[in-house]
Structure formats: structure tokens, C-alpha cells
């Protein structure tokens, strides 16, 4: 249990670098949502449950949804034409 938080911190750094260096914007947003989730787990390990609930609801939920709708508006969702029609 002692180095569980060190592993999580290392994973955070990996996520952040990966989000900065991917080519497609969609993968960057998904990696950012997982980054937010790992951060919520870290808050629990730092004994602040208020921050964990708020970060999980707001960071991974609301910010992710806003990013996805913006990507749709600027036509960068990618994928084939099947996803566009409906």
C-alpha cells in the first residue's frame, strides 16, 4: 500500500505526456478523462472525499462531455461516414 500512490503518480505523468503527444484530438480527450479519474482516486488516498466526488463528477463527466460536443461542432470527430449520419 505504501507505493500504490507512487505508482498512481507515475501513471498520471504517463497519461499527461500521452495526452500531449497523440496526433488525433479524440484520443487526447479520452486520455484526459482517464487522467481525471486517476486524479479522483488520488484524492481519496489523500483523505479528502469531498474533492474526490467533485472531481469525478465534474472532471471526468462534465468536462469530457463539453470536449466531445465541441469536437463535433468543429468536425474533428473522425471515424467513417457511418457515425455522421445518425
Partner 1 sequence: MVLFGIGFTTLLLQKNMIKKVIGINIMDTAIYLFLAAKGYIEGGIAPIVVDGITTMEHYINPIPSGLVLTGIVVSVSVSAFSLALIQRLYKEYGTLDFDEVVYQLRNKEGD
Partner 2 sequence: MAGANRLLEAIINFAEGEDIDRTLIDSGTPDHELIDQSFINYNETSVGERLHHMIDTHGERIFNGFYKAASVIICLALSAVLLMTVATLPPYASPNNPAVNEVAERYLEQGMAETGAVNLVTGMILDYRAFDTFGEAAVLFIAFCSVTLLLHGSSSVRANPTVATRQKSVVLRCVATVIIPLIMMFGIYVILNGHLSPGGGFSGGAIIGSALILYSSAFGYDRIHAFLPFRTATAISCTALLVYAASKGYSFFTGANHLHSFITVGNIGSIFSAGFIPLLNICVGSTVTITMYGFFSLFKKGDL
What is the DSSP annotation of the chain?
-TTHHHHHHHHHHHHHHHHHH-SSHHHHHHHHHHHHHHHHHHHHHTT-HHHHHHHIIIIIIIIHHHHHHHHHHTT---S-THHHH-
Confirm or reject binding of residue 16 to partner 1 (CB under 8 A).
yes
Indicate which of partner 1, partner 2, none lies near residue 19 (CB less than 5 to 8 Å, by partner kind). Answer: partner 1
Q: What are the residues binding partner 1 (CB under 8 A)? A: 12-13, 16-17, 19-20, 25, 28-29, 32, 35-36, 39, 42-43, 46-51, 54-55, 58-59, 62-63, 66-67, 70-71, 73-74, 76
Amino acid at each position: 500500500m505504501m507505493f500504490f500512490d507512487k505508482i498512481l503518480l507515475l501513471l498520471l505523468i504517463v497519461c499527461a505526456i500521452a495526452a500531449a503527444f497523440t496526433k488525433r484530438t479524440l484520443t487526447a480527450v479520452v486520455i484526459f478523462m482517464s487522467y481525471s479519474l486517476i486524479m479522483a482516486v488520488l484524492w481519496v488516498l489523500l483523505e479528502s472525499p469531498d474533492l474526490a466526488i467533485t472531481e469525478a463528477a465534474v472532471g471526468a463527466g462534465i468536462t469530457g462531455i463539453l470536449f466531445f460536443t465541441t469536437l463535433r461542432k468543429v468536425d474533428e470527430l473522425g471515424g467513417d461516414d457511418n457515425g455522421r449520419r445518425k
